[in-house]
Amino acid sequence: MGSSKLNIKPLRAHDVDNTIILMEYYRDEADLPDGEYDSDAMTETIRDYVISPVHAWFNMYEGSRAVGLVGGYIVQIPWSRKLIAHVQFLYLLPSHRNLVNGKELVKTFESWAKSMEAQKVTAGDIGINVERTRAFYKQAGFEDTGCLLSKEFTE
């Protein structure tokens, strides 16, 4: 399915319900551990993206049905005045996954980031399929700089 029949629009308050449904598809496909997905927290996050000037979220629609999304934020690099943007969410329904649709979503996010005067865009490889995610970002012009790591605090 090519992107010519699809529209990408910024997230608005009236799109929150469609977006939550799309994120539930992600949750189901990602097979997250029990208790890892909090639907109330996800709803709050999506609503925060609607009002925050340093966050952006775009949905891809086929007609009135949301079929994909990209969301992220702008942050200042601590040791300089430069801004960077980070793709936090990228998801397409399996029926709409292809390089064209994925690149269109990322390109939309990059345009927003440039309009916010970001110097670059970063993205993690956390997702449903890490290898496929990394390969996609490389095909979208991202450099492989390693991976995103995290550490949980213990008491």
**pLDDT 10s digits, 26-50:** 988 887 887 888 989 999 999 998 8
Task: Return d(Cα 121, Cα 54) in angstroms, integer.
Answer: 14
The average pLDDT across 127-154 equals: 78
Residue 44: the pLDDT is 92
Strand order from edge to edge, sheet including 65-76:
7-10, 55-62, 65-76, 83-92, 118-123
Q: Which helix (H) or strand (E) covers residue 152, if one does?
A: none
Residue 114: the pLDDT is 95
> Between residues 145 and 61, which one has the greater pLDDT?
61
Task: Return d(Cα 41, Cα 44) in angstroms, integer.
Answer: 5
pLDDT tens column, 136-145: 998 999 888 8
Residue 87: the pLDDT is 94
Question: What's the half-sphere exposure (Cβ side, CA atoms, 13 Å) at 109?
Answer: 33
Domain boundaries, the chain: 3-139
Residue 34: the pLDDT is 79
CATH class of the domain defined by 3-139? alpha beta
Residue 151: the pLDDT is 53
Cβ neighbours around 112 below 10 Å, total: 20
- 68, exposed or middle or buried, with CB in 10 Å at 0-12, 13-18, 19+? buried
